[in-house]
Structure 1
């Protein structure tokens, strides 16, 4: 074996010169050449992992990175994304702001810093925006930051809302306002609102109105007509809320919801009464509307007109608020500890601290376990513990 190693290894490592071999070519030479050529092949670099980059460099969650990484599957290196991140960081965006911007517009990482991003900053600066204001704007406008029309559209919105701060609130609530036609949508809608006495100065929330002014003008006109039909007084604060609520809801969805109210026993007068004080009651989730109406009428024994005058009862959670309080009141009544008949609305509407101070803490010695059972029921664990304390289980 030793002789074999001494004979072959030197030939593998130091093959004889072909000139000295003549016609008798060394059969080991092709093998040597193969080994030499294989050693010269460079090792392929590790492929660029977009999803990992989004998590580690951009601050996205793994779930979000997985969702948006398909938009960047063509990237083969981090050179361009690195340049974009450096640009955003230099502009003053925090890591969370950068994560928000990239999550909403992954293709931002592919933008050309000089031709696109620097150009947008220059155009916005010409409007009088500071670098810090531009930094606040970027995560909100999403892909519009890469559009040449951004500065022009933003300038129009500033003329409408009066300041960059107001524009920022509007865009935060509905960035689609940047794509709405100023001449065909926004201006006609503002005219419709002004005819009803609604001006920008008396809007309760600029962000709240952003969705309404982007709706088709026909929808806004129908919303105004419906608010009048319900008897909401023009000029009143609730009139603005009614118009906006009706405008945002699709007509077919609104019609279906009003039909559901009537199926549940609400008359037109009941609905008008509720809408006058709380217009967004018509936007309530269908399941919640069914559950609350059933509980309030069947379990508590309230009449629909009573509920209509106090529509906030429809908004409270049955499981975590209304049912636990109703059950607890019945328990202390059943134990002869509560002599006064309290109005149910006054019981439902007070804060949890006041409810505890008035209806729970004074009776913990008389009804052991009352406080714990009530806390458990409010935490969503059901009222079975309260039922155990009740002399009449049917009352809970």
Structure 2
């Protein structure tokens, strides 16, 4: 097109001499028309393959996600292989949403050879007794491992450990590292350590499986820390401690312990709390600071009291502790609550029981109490509760 435009411009600016082409000189538009007709015979280069457009139009990705995924596929020059891969995945039974997930998590799958790689994986998994529908459920979860020859061997081992395909699927869904990590170097040694200390995976919750793919040294350190805190081996708390500590990096673990001490906790306080609830060690710094400030400054609790009831620092301030504390102050301020209730007992009961005991009996005495409390529990603040308090309040809270 650039050459065409230059040619047209040249003809218009420098028309042929009159002797050679009097008609053209007399009618420059006719000359332009003939030039355009002659250029139509020149072959036009095909439009280059646009990976990002293909990901949006054929794979169902959003433009933003396609832009990120396309960076690793810039070498693709044709849709032929990606088309074959998409047809294969669709034929296997994956939905459009599943296919989009596969492409996002493993963009290189679009470069895989269908017959040499993908068909081979399906044949291998089928030989393990998996149906095509089970394989279709597995593919989006195993990501790039679907292209690896080791997938069948890994899955065979996991099936023996967890007992069923559905159980394996749950484990992989909660922790991709279980299928991506080395069976010999990571998974087997870690399971050996857990079994040595009486920790079984039969009734683990999803987060617990994160420890299986952690470096073995981290798991060994986690066991050591749990023992140092005096947590009894073979108990559910010991299992929780080992899993929690193994997921944390050593630097994070040490930093969090130091933070508790900076906030006024003694080693005895910390040991008592961790023995009861090991996962307090994994709390985010800002949340721990806010919880301790609220419980000690606003509610007026002592650290030894909190250490023996560590669930207090795990509850949401905004949605649970603050609304309940303010409501109790409202009842006291209006002279309706004579008993001095223990704060832990107020915090730990279910919301239904709290309503029955501290809200429903007083809605007639304090109009709007129920709505104000319900609003405060949604995170909208406690302003409505503040308005309802008529007596002398504790200004640190309400």
The TM-score range, normalised by the shorter chain, is: 0.7 to 0.9
Q: CA deviation at 1:269?
A: 2.2
Distance verdict in 2 for CA 1:61–1:353, change over 3 Å:
farther
- Count of residues in Structure 1 that have an aligned counterpart in Structure 2: 372
Q: d(CA) in 1 for partners of 2:293 and 2:33?
A: 89
Question: Is the counterpart of residue 73 in structure 1 residue 66 in structure 2?
Answer: no
Q: CA deviation at 1:369?
A: 2.7
Give 3-state SS (helix, strand or coil) of 2:365's partner: coil
Q: d(CA) in 2 for partners of 1:159 and 1:98?
A: 29
Hey, what does 2:255 align to over in structure 1? 256
Question: Is the counterpart of residue 195 in structure 1 residue 196 in structure 2?
Answer: yes
Q: d(CA) in 2 for partners of 1:57 and 1:353?
A: 50
Structure 1, unpaired ranges of 5+ = 1-22
Counting only pairs closer than 5 Å after superposition, residues 221-260 of structure 1 correspond to structure 2 as 221-260=220-259
Q: d(CA) in 2 for partners of 1:322 and 1:209?
A: 28
Q: Deviation per CA, 1:198-236: give whole Å up to 9, x if none.
A: 2344x523x434322222222222211111111111111
Q: d(CA) in 2 for partners of 1:24 and 1:269?
A: 108
Hey, what does 1:148 align to over in structure 2? 149
Distance verdict in 2 for CA 1:118–1:27, change over 3 Å:
farther
Question: Is the counterpart of residue 286 in structure 1 residue 298 in structure 2?
Answer: no
Which TM-score applies when normalising by structure 2? 0.85
Pairwise CA RMSD: 2.6
Distance verdict in 2 for CA 1:276–1:83, change over 3 Å:
same
Q: Deviation per CA, 1:252-279: give whole Å up to 9, x if none.
A: 1101101111111222222222222221
Hey, what does 1:134 align to over in structure 2? 135
Q: CA deviation at 1:47?
A: 5.1
Counting only pairs closer than 5 Å after superposition, residues 372-391 of structure 1 correspond to structure 2 as 372-391=371-390
**Which shifted more, 143-152 or 233-242?**
143-152
Q: CA deviation at 1:24?
A: 7.4
Hey, what does 2:358 align to over in structure 1? 359
Q: d(CA) in 1 for partners of 2:97 and 2:352?
A: 36
Question: Is the counterpart of residue 170 in structure 1 residue 171 in structure 2?
Answer: yes
Give 3-state SS (helix, strand or coil) of 2:233's partner: coil
Q: Deviation per CA, 1:97-146: give whole Å up to 9, x if none.
A: 22221121122222222222111111111222111111111111111111
Distance verdict in 2 for CA 1:105–1:24, change over 3 Å:
closer
Distance verdict in 2 for CA 1:316–1:199, change over 3 Å:
closer
**Which shifted more, 163-172 or 291-300?**
163-172
**Which shifted more, 190-199 or 294-303?**
190-199
Counting only pairs closer than 5 Å after superposition, residues 1-396 of structure 1 correspond to structure 2 as 34-41=35-42, 48-201=49-202, 203-205=203-205, 207-391=206-390, 392-393=392-393, 394=395, 395-396=397-398
Give 3-state SS (helix, strand or coil) of 2:300's partner: coil
Q: d(CA) in 2 for partners of 1:259 and 1:132?
A: 51
Q: Deviation per CA, 1:2-41: give whole Å up to 9, x if none.
A: xxxxxxxxxxxxxxxxxxxxx9788859978743331224
Distance verdict in 2 for CA 1:219–1:26, change over 3 Å:
same
Q: d(CA) in 2 for partners of 1:59 and 1:364?
A: 53
Q: d(CA) in 1 for partners of 2:293 and 2:36?
A: 84
Which TM-score applies when normalising by structure 1? 0.85
Give 3-state SS (helix, strand or coil) of 2:357's partner: helix
**Which shifted more, 340-349 or 253-262?**
340-349
Distance verdict in 2 for CA 1:32–1:385, change over 3 Å:
closer
Distance verdict in 2 for CA 1:26–1:128, change over 3 Å:
farther
Q: d(CA) in 2 for partners of 1:80 and 1:235?
A: 54
Give 3-state SS (helix, strand or coil) of 1:151's partner: helix
Give 3-state SS (helix, strand or coil) of 1:166's partner: helix
Give 3-state SS (helix, strand or coil) of 1:346's partner: helix
Q: Deviation per CA, 1:302-339: give whole Å up to 9, x if none.
A: 12222222222111111221111101110011101112
Q: d(CA) in 2 for partners of 1:32 and 1:56?
A: 38
Distance verdict in 2 for CA 1:61–1:32, change over 3 Å:
closer
